[in-house]
A and B are shown apart, each in its own frame.
Chain A
Amino acid sequence: EAGVAQSPRYKIIEKRQSVAFWCNPISGHATLYWYQQILGQGPKLLIQFQNNGVVDDSQLPKDRFSAERLKGVDSTLKIQPAKLEDSAVYLCASASLGGGEYGYTFGSGTRLTVV
């Protein structure tokens, strides 16, 4: 099966600019996650969707980050305005049956550099 697709692969922006990332999950996967991975750290959950509804966005900095999942399939994550500390790899993952050993697949991520 095709994996989780993410674009763009790399993005460099200046602080205070806006940026958007796109994710296309594995077909049929109801659950979609966005994780932020800062260099040298483990991934940290930002937001979780079940179909097109938000399950948990408690760790999403809502003053600057927003996310949506269109028709329960593709998802976009937006940052506006970006700060230097937002430099990280943004990973999208999708899962069936709630994730875990039932199938939790990460995309290759978007590496964001804020200068």
Chain B
Amino acid sequence: QQQVKQSPQSLIVQKGGISIINCAYENTAFDYFPWYQQFPGKGPALLIAIRPDVSEKKEGRFTISFNKSAKQFSLHIMDSQPGDSATYFCAASKAGSARQLTFGSGTQLTVLP
């Protein structure tokens, strides 16, 4: 019930294209869903996050779409750039857990120039 499943494992996109990464969760107690971006040799950095009371959140070129009934959420990167090449992790946490994060397995994104 704590698992967060992420797909695809790897993704190659042309510059200017749209990158889409999907996650599904099982535990309905999760109430906070962040996405983290990780570059080689660095720790994960918070990119964008959403709570289940909204279906979409947009920050610049990054958008989270959230489907509470399907227990799925996704990250869309518009106008993908080579600098976006990194590993992306979805995560989830629940109130009362002192915000421990349960991470997905990661998606390695490569944006070709």
CB-based nearest B residue for A101: B49
Chain A contact residue count (CB 8 A cutoff):
27
In the complex, which of the residues B6, B42, B97 has the most CB atoms of chain A within 10 Å of its own CB atom?
B97
Output the least CB separation between B1 and chain A (Å). Answer: 15
B43 contacts which chain A residues (CB < 8 A)? 4, 91, 93, 105-109
Contact B105–A95 (Cβ < 8 Å): no
B45 contacts which chain A residues (CB < 8 A)? 106
CB contact between A100 and one of B32, B41, B42, B106 (< 8 Å): that residue: B32
Supposing A41-B106, A101-B34, A101-B49 touch, asked if A108 and B42 sit within 8 A by C-beta, the answer is: yes
Contact A33–B103 (Cβ < 8 Å): no
B102 contacts which chain A residues (CB < 8 A)? 45
Contact A42–B104 (Cβ < 8 Å): yes
Contact A55–B98 (Cβ < 8 Å): yes
| Complex: A99 Cα to B103 Cα, angstroms | 15
Chain B interface residues toward A at CB < 8 A: 4, 6, 32, 34, 41-46, 49, 89, 91, 93, 97-106
